[in-house]
Amino acid sequence: MCPPSYSFSPLDALWHHEPAAMSILGGGLVSLVGLGGLLVALRRRQQAMGGAWSALDHGDLPTQAPPPLTKPTLAAVALALFMPVLTVAVTMHDRAALRACIASNVVGEPANCTAWGGLGDSVGQHLGWGMVVTVLLLPIAVLVMAALTHLRWRGDYIRALLELATRRGPSERYRQTAWEHDEGALRRLLSRRPPGFGVAIALWGAVGLAIVAFGSGVVRSLTTAINGLNGIHLHGNLDARLAESASMLDPHLIVAGAFMGVAFGILVAVRRATEDWSHPPSWRATAARFALGTGCLVLASPLAAENANPVPASVRHFNEQSASVAYLPITPPNLVGHRDVPYGIQVDIVERAVELDGYAVGDTVRGDTGELEDMLRRKRELWLSFHPDRPFPGTVNVAVDGRTTVATLRPWLEAARRAGYHEAIIILVQTVPFAHAPLGVWASWHRLTGVDVALGCGRAGAKRLDMDGDVEAMARHALEAPRGMACMPTVEP
């Protein structure tokens, strides 16, 4: 089986009007415009601040308050953020399309799959162009946003100071609060100057890194999920590594829990000690903190899925040897159970429908097995006409999900036996959520369990699968026997 050939060339992609490349280029231009607008807004705000802060530094009260943030500035911020967001979105789409293209050509003729290569390529083999652009834009955006935030903090501070210093007597509004004594309030305010530029840079740097990390995490967890759907499992046996990381006694979790507990304790203690109990906190700020906390949990979800499925150490070797666009080499379905399933005649039981190689041949409720039997017999005769001197393999793959019952499955296996097949590989398809993911249903993969079952119990010592119940229990039962030693009893004619 030859791997499909595919090429990676951003210039080729642009030349052929690859939509992903074009849209990321356009998004970059939009972001540049936004950054330009931000620089202008920054300059204006710096001028508006004027000598207010230097007056404060000299011990004088400023005479004029700087204006608050304007809507055009906020629009410029939104435009500047457009590029990273678009890069993430387009990369997700691009990688998914590439994966689907490669997956659809694993069997058969080599195909040409082209990819532009965005954020997802930064890890693994190529530094994708989307990543390069993002990495170049990120420090600029961080600096600009930090400068804006820094100026805003100072502006808010000066406005609050002026409001306190210039009003005459406690108004109705202020009587409700603790701000009844101007001098005390002013002293308190003056003792708490806003944080400096460094804090603003750290804040926005963290936000930018979170956006990039989120992008990579989403791309990888999505491609993993898509590969699961296509029966392609990346980097070895997921099942074993999931079993390792699924334990609640994971030392990472214990250490993290301890740190979080200590941090929470300190936070609550400090907050309770410093809270001004006569001055109620803003409910808007409270709601915003709840919203931000929720946002963090959502952002962490793909990262958690990523961590539940760590990249094995052997991955690094592929960096040198493989020139493929694919992050990791594609392997045939790596199954749990007796053995890997060979490509062959495939019967799928999907809810009610029974399909043979993708074509509907029956219905489990009606139980009309005649067409399946006829088609299987014709396939057998066709194979024998091509290979008259070889024995017929007589194996049929039967894919079912965990909800299918043995009673539902049995007539179809019986039909296969009547058509001249002596062995079925039952492929049990189960959807397994990633361990640790707080929103686990978002990220799941398909575990395939392959079980060899002889059709008919003629062989001595074979384990008879004559139980009722669901196929999952039957598969467990069959896996207790050595390969080839589990059998489905049939109604002999």
Binding mask 199-238 for other proteins (x = CB under 8 A): ----------xx--x--xx---------------------
Given the complex with other proteins, which of 190 and 202 has the nearer CB atom? 202
Helices (H), 282-433: 283-308, 317-321, 370-386, 406-418
Specify the 3-state DSSP secondary structure of 255.
Answer: helix
Closest contact distance (angstroms) between CB of 246 and other proteins is 15
Q: Which of 43, 167, 289, 483 binds other proteins (CB under 8 A)?
A: 289
Q: Does residue 247 bind other proteins (CB under 8 A)?
A: no
Name the packing angle between helices 71-80 and 129-166 (round to 10°): 160
Q: Which of 256, 353, 360, 467 binds other proteins (CB under 8 A)?
A: 256
Q: Does residue 132 bind other proteins (CB under 8 A)?
A: no
Residue 204 is inside which H or E element, if any? Answer: helix 197-229
Stretch that binds other proteins, among 156-164, 287-295, 422-430, 456-464 (CB under 8 A): 287-295
Given the complex with other proteins, which of 63 and 286 has the nearer CB atom? 286
Q: Does residue 296 bind other proteins (CB under 8 A)?
A: yes
Q: Which of residues 318-337 bind other proteins (CB under 8 A)?
A: 319
Across-strand partners of 400?
428
Closest contact distance (angstroms) between CB of 192 and other proteins is 17
Q: Does residue 32 bind other proteins (CB under 8 A)?
A: no
Closest contact distance (angstroms) between CB of 211 and other proteins is 11
Q: Which of residues 137-196 bind other proteins (CB under 8 A)?
A: none
Across-strand partners of 348?
355, 399
Given the complex with other proteins, which of 121 and 472 has the nearer CB atom? 121
Stretch that binds other proteins, among 39-47, 283-291, 377-385, 395-403 (CB under 8 A): 283-291
DSSP string, 40-56: HHHHHHHHHHTTHHHHH
Distance of CA 228 to the CA centre of its chain: 13
Specify the 3-state DSSP secondary structure of 488.
Answer: strand
Q: Does residue 300 bind other proteins (CB under 8 A)?
A: yes
Stretch that binds other proteins, among 23-31, 104-112, 254-262, 485-493 (CB under 8 A): 254-262
Query: In whole angstroms, how far apart are CA 436 and each of 37, 228, 306?
Result: 42, 18, 10
Q: Does residue 246 bind other proteins (CB under 8 A)?
A: no
Q: Residue 325 in contact with residue 121, Cβ under 8 Å?
A: yes
Closest contact distance (angstroms) between CB of 436 and other proteins is 9
Nearest alpha-carbon partner for 483 in 315, 335, 267, 328 = 335
Given the complex with other proteins, which of 100 and 210 has the nearer CB atom? 210
Q: Cα(415)–Cα(376) distance, rounded to whole angstroms? A: 9
Q: Cα(451)–Cα(423) distance, rounded to whole angstroms? A: 10
Distance of CA 145 to the CA centre of its chain: 27
Which residue shows structure tokens 């400090």? 270
Q: Does residue 310 bind other proteins (CB under 8 A)?
A: yes
Q: What is the CA radius of gyration of the chain?
A: 32
Task: Write out the E strands in 177-313.
Answer: none
Nearest alpha-carbon partner for 27 in 96, 81, 77 = 81
Task: Write out the E strands in 30-172.
Answer: 113-115
# residues near other proteins by CB under 8 A:
46
Which residue shows structure tokens 């040409």? 112
Q: Which of 200, 225, 303, 335 binds other proteins (CB under 8 A)?
A: 303
Q: Does residue 392 bind other proteins (CB under 8 A)?
A: no
Q: Does residue 4 bind other proteins (CB under 8 A)?
A: no
Q: Which of 18, 94, 239, 306 binds other proteins (CB under 8 A)?
A: 306
Q: Does residue 124 bind other proteins (CB under 8 A)?
A: yes
Binding site for other proteins (CB under 8 A): 123-124, 209-210, 213, 216-217, 252, 256, 259-260, 263-264, 267-268, 271-272, 275, 277, 280-281, 283, 285-287, 289-290, 292-297, 299-300, 303-304, 306-307, 310-311, 313, 315-316, 319, 438
